[in-house]
């Protein structure tokens, strides 16, 4: 049957060996189409007892000589990538409609199914890809390569798509009033300008002409340095959630990924980048930088993470240490019901969420603003027996509104510290100490590059 189909294919006109072998690409794994075609041509010639005539690639009516140009296309692709740092690649092909039609016609004339073997563009991808890898010392990656070379056979061009590079790390934010990402000014639409009374333009009074509500951000302090190191066109910051702008991020830091688009350099020194960030600012710290895969972005953005917070709170009336400890014990392990807080209900759906408190501990603190009598009311160990100021440390499930856990948000959070103590609570300060995966750590090895 195969020889009959090969005879019919050879009878259609001059064929090169790759085009003759391509309709039989699903037979005899381990052979190239060139080898299949030569073997079929030889077998048919022996069976017919005729003089052997090798296939002439330049005269082939199916590919019109394109199968003889794989080395040329690989050379062109390597030249197009000469200024790009990459370790993995993929080749794609836009085949001329005529070659695709000829491919289909050959199968029909040989009496083969339409989907027999493989298409010309699939062979071109593989054969040029093998040659490109050998020339550049890189490996093919069919899922997420560093670069994609698109061969346009008809136009005689090579288009290069450079995929983003990713750098994972953790940051600590050492000062308050610094957002995680750049915060465009809504008053001027981030233009930095507004209409003056005389009809002209002046600097926006909301942002001072910067176009941003805050001068600094974690993104603004990190992304430009990483983008420059990788010689990319843009740096995009992805954080594992975000803390409030007035909160510090301390302790073990918050996981993040920096995505650099169109990087020309991938082989970077993460420790050198950490040092560059450290030298450029004292507002944040970055550690644990590692090259990551694109799947790390999804993991950082979507993986449920528990968080540990420390709050400084002020009570409207004096509270005893023993009562504070009792209330914390009552909240330990409790499932908290939280309606969308008043402070964010303008931008989030008004729903009820439930989150668990894993650990909570409260300690009264000396308060210079409180009554001297309350401050002086110490136990035998020197700790306060009663006071109006306390430090509360909370470890809770991801998504727990910890400020509302403390002050109750006018009854929208139940139970709450304020509700159980029957006293109003004001949040003086909030810091985040740790952000960790609920069931597994962020830093799983399969999400990083060696």
The answer, as to whether pTM is greater than 0.95, is no
Instruction: Let me know if residue 293 belongs to a domain.
Output: yes
Number of domains forming the structure of the chain: 3
**What SS3 state is found at 83?**
coil
Indicate whether 13 and 30 sit together in one domain.
yes
pLDDT tens sequence across 112-137: 999 999 999 999 999 999 999 999 99
Residue from 85, 152, 231, 244 carrying the catalytic annotation: 244
CA distances from 164 to 258, 261, 318 (A): 10, 4, 56
Write down the pLDDT at residue 380.
Answer: 40
Spatial separation of the C-alpha atoms in residues 199 and 284, rounded to whole Å: 41
What residues make up the domain containing 316?
Answer: 305-437
CA atoms within 13 A on the CB side of 63: 24
- Output the domain CATH number for residue 152: 3.30.2300.10
The mean pLDDT of 345-372, rounded to a whole number, is: 85
345 noted as active-site residue:
no
pLDDT tens sequence across 437-449: 988 888 989 899 9
Q: Which of 268, 302, 336 is the last residue of a domain?
A: 302
Indicate whether 324 and 277 sit together in one domain.
no
- Output the domain CATH number for residue 383: 3.30.70.3190
- Output the domain CATH number for residue 278: 3.30.70.2510
Instruction: Return the number of other C-beta atoms located less than 10 Å from residue 393's C-beta.
Output: 16
Indicate whether 136 and 51 sit together in one domain.
yes
pLDDT tens sequence across 401-419: 999 999 999 999 999 999 9
Indicate whether 132 and 272 sit together in one domain.
no
Q: Which of 302, 320, 347 is the last residue of a domain?
A: 302
Q: Which two tokens stand for residue 6?
A: 């090969």
Instruction: Let me know if residue 192 belongs to a domain.
Output: no
Write down the pLDDT at residue 377.
Answer: 54
Q: Which of 302, 325, 357 is the last residue of a domain?
A: 302
Residue of 286, 168, 303 whose CA lies nearest to 240:
303
pLDDT tens sequence across 125-168: 999 999 999 999 999 999 999 999 999 999 999 999 999 999 99
């Amino acid at each position: 049957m195969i020889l009959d189909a090969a005879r019919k294919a050879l009878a259609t006109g001059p064929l090169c060996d790759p085009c003759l072998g391509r309709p039989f690409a699903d037979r005899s794994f381990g052979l190239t189409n060139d080898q299949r075609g030569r073997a079929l041509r030889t077998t048919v010639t022996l069976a017919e007892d005729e003089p052997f005539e090798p296939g002439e690639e330049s005269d082939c009516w199916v590919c019109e000589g394109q199968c003889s140009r794989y080395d040329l296309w690989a050379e062109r692709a390597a030249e197009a990538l000469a200024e790009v740092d990459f370790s993995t690649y993929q080749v794609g092909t836009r085949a001329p409609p005529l070659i695709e039609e000829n491919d289909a016609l050959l199968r029909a004339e040989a009496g083969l199914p339409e989907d027999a073997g493989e298409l010309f563009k699939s062979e071109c991808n593989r054969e040029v890809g093998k040659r490109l890898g050998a020339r550049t010392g890189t490996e093919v990656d069919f899922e997420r390569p560093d670069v994609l070379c698109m061969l346009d056979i008809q136009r005689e061009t090579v288009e290069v798509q450079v995929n983003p590079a990713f750098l994972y790390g953790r940051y600590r934010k050492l000062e308050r009033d610094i957002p995680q990402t750049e915060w465009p000014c809504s008053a001027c639409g981030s233009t930095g300008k507004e209409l003056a009374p005389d009809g002209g333009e002046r600097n926006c009074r909301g942002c001072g002409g910067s176009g941003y509500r805050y001068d600094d951000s974690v993104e603004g302090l990190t992304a430009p340095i990483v983008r420059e190191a990788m010689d990319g066109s843009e740096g995009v910051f992805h954080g594992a959630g975000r803390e409030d702008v007035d909160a510090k991020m301390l302790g073990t830091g918050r996981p993040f990924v920096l995505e650099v688009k169109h990087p020309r350099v991938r082989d970077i020194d993460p420790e050198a980048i950490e040092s560059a960030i450290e030298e450029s600012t004292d507002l944040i710290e970055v550690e644990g930088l590692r090259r990551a895969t694109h799947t790390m972005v999804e993991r950082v953005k979507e993986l449920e993470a528990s968080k540990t917070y420390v709050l400084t709170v002020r009570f409207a009336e004096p509270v005893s240490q023993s009562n504070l400890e009792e209330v914390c014990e009552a909240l330990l392990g409790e499932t908290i019901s939280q309606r969308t807080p008043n402070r964010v209900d303008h931008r989030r759906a008004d729903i009820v969420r439930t989150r668990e408190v894993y650990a909570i501990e409260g300690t009264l603190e000396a308060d210079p603003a409180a009554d001297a009598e309350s401050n002086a009311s110490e136990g035998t160990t020197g700790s306060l027996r009663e006071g109006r100021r306390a430090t509360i440390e909370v470890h809770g499930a991801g998504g727990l509104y910890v400020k509302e856990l403390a002050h109750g948000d006018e009854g929208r959070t139940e139970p709450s510290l304020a509700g159980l103590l029957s006293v109003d609570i004001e949040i003086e300060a909030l810091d985040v100490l740790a952000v960790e995966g609920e069931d597994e750590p962020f830093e799983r090895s399969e999400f990083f590059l060696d």
